[in-house]
Amino acid sequence: MIREITIGQFYPENSIIHKLDPRVKLFGTIAFIVMIFTVNNIGGYILTAMALAGVIRMSKVPVKYMLKGLKAILFILIFTAVLNIFFTPGTVLFEYKFIRISEEGITIAIKMAIRFIFLIMGSSVMTLTTTPNHLTDGLEKSLSPLKKIKIPVHEISMMMSIALRFIPVLLEETDKIMKAQQARGADFETGNIFKRAKSLIPIFIPLFISCFRRANDLAMAMEARCYHGGDGRTKMKPLKYYRYDYIAYFIIFIYIAGIIFLNQSTLF
């Protein structure tokens, strides 16, 4: 299960999505997430699915690799859907003792599941096609106007980039610890929920120790290289917009306009 999480990993490929400016991908991801939660009809969901499928195809990232990342959040997806189905009031379709299923609950559960899947896959596209360094540069450049009100933009961007960078590292570390514990006879699969939770303690303790050790090593490495934040720092590869970046912005605005039009339309 640990190996199924794809968020935070970079998939090297020579595609137009990989070549896009990170600012374009950040803006596109934010616009996509906002539009997901404003869609209110079938037409909007179809357009969103088509847009996501088109971006994944252009990124040349295998669809199986994208779908593999959904396995890690399958429990959360099912749990959320069940809560909506059984605890949403409305027109009752089935009732037995304390169990009650409503039409509105099923509708909301389906919508939330679709939105959650789109959210995970859309976010994964950005991290799979953008290196941590480019992501840091894109965040810093996008948030640069906030420097005028004394917000440490560079430091915030660096922290977010480091957090994304270390997601796959910590997942790999967790997998190694679990295998080491299983080789010593640890059992993480059997027993009730409390027993399983208790069996995770031998994993969390060495994992936290490893996290603090890595954080300390990273801090010492940055200090040894005289890192002092964003003031006066230059870029080896400054961000620059190209023609295909402007085309991508244009397509994003078309997508936003399409969702707004479909939300106000009575055709669907």
Going from the C-alpha of 170 to that of each of 3, 179, 208, 241, the distances in angstroms are 11, 14, 10, 34
73: its two tokens: 């959040």
Identify the pLDDT of residue 139: 83
Identify the pLDDT of residue 33: 92
Identify the pLDDT of residue 230: 64
Quick check: 129 and 15 in contact, CB under 8 A?
A: yes
Identify the pLDDT of residue 13: 86
Who contacts 111 (Cβ-Cβ below 8 Å, separation ≥6)?
none
pLDDT in tens, the chain (268 residues): 445 555 667 788 889 999 999 999 999 999 999 999 898 888 889 999 999 999 999 998 888 777 776 776 777 888 888 888 887 777 777 777 777 788 888 888 888 888 888 988 888 888 889 887 788 888 888 888 888 888 888 788 778 778 777 777 787 888 888 888 888 777 777 767 677 777 777 888 888 888 888 888 888 988 888 877 666 667 777 788 999 999 999 999 999 999 999 888 765 5
Identify the pLDDT of residue 268: 56
> CB neighbours (10 Å) of residue 133?
14
233: its two tokens: 């720092």
Q: Token pair 């199924």 is at which residue?
A: 4
Identify the pLDDT of residue 54: 93
Q: Please give the Cα distance from 37 to 43 (Å, whole number).
A: 14
Percentage helix, strand, coil, to 5, in the chain? 70, 5, 25
Which helix or strand (DSSP H or E) is residue 26 part of?
Answer: helix 22-36
Q: Which DSSP category does 145 fall into?
A: G
Cα dihedral across residues 74, 18, 243, 245: positive or negative = positive
This prediction has a pTM of 0.75
Identify the pLDDT of residue 103: 80
Where exactly are the structural domains of the chain?
Answer: 1-130+238-268, 155-233
Q: Please give the Cα distance from 140 to 162 (Å, whole number).
A: 13
Cα dihedral across residues 204, 210, 215, 218: positive or negative = negative
Cα dihedral across residues 10, 15, 16, 19: positive or negative = positive
Identify the pLDDT of residue 267: 58
DSSP 94-117: EEETTEEEEHHHHHHHHHHHHHHH
Q: Token pair 């190694």 is at which residue?
A: 176
